[in-house]
Amino acid sequence: MLDMTIREFAAASASKAPVPGGGGVSAMCGALSASLAEMVTHLTAGKKRYAQYEEEIQSVMKQAEELRVRLLECIEKDAEAFEPLARAYAMDKNTEGYAEKMEACLHEAAKPPFMILEYCTKVIELDERLAVIGSKLAVSDAGTSVMLAHGAMYGACLNVRVNTRLMKDTAYAQDVEGRAEALLEEYAGRAMNCFNAVRERL
């Protein structure tokens, strides 16, 4: 899917094809969020006005690039994890080993959206700094970035939940859900605070 054009990706998401779905689209939004954060660093680096932050800007730049790459990879990871789950859904429930197969597939399908959620929290952390040290000419892009990450987190969290809710291993499911919800609760607030800080700086 990474070789699709923007039009092709949007059309595939709009179709009845199972992927890219909420997980893949959340990953794409997260990747675009990271790309905007990275752009802010490029527009800040080397400027005399922000020379005191040059070393940190360079560090943020590298982190944003890595997150962009990883979030794009999550589009494929999410699709790959869904394929065996889709096959499991199509199995006769009376088939020997059905329950074990379904449980394993649900565990794997929950991993990519949890990764997306975690990566988006890292983007938000970068945006928090860029809201302060990024070029004022590009700070609106940091605000756009943080809100894209904010939305992507919610989508990722839902895609964790849609898999954990069907797991028979309730202790594991509750642990994953709890960690996802805790991240969402913390970073949703931080994202909004960052957005408001950007608005005040404009």
- Domain boundary assignment for the chain: 22-201
pLDDT in the model for residue 18: 86
Q: Are 40 and 130 in contact (CB under 8 A)?
A: yes
Q: Are 157 and 115 in contact (CB under 8 A)?
A: no
Residues of the chain with pLDDT under 50: none
pTM of the model: 0.95
Exposure class string for 37-73: b at 16+ Cβ within 10 A, else e: bbbbbebbbeeeebeebeeebeebbebbeebbebbbb
pLDDT in the model for residue 92: 82
Sign of CA dihedral 50, 56, 58, 61: negative
pLDDT in the model for residue 52: 98
pLDDT in the model for residue 149: 98
CA 137 centroid distance within chain: 26
Sequence-separated contacts (24+) of 1-9 with Cβ below 8 Å? 1/75, 1/76, 1/79, 2/72, 2/75, 2/76
pLDDT in the model for residue 194: 98
For domain 22-201, give the CATH number: 1.20.120.680
pLDDT in the model for residue 96: 86
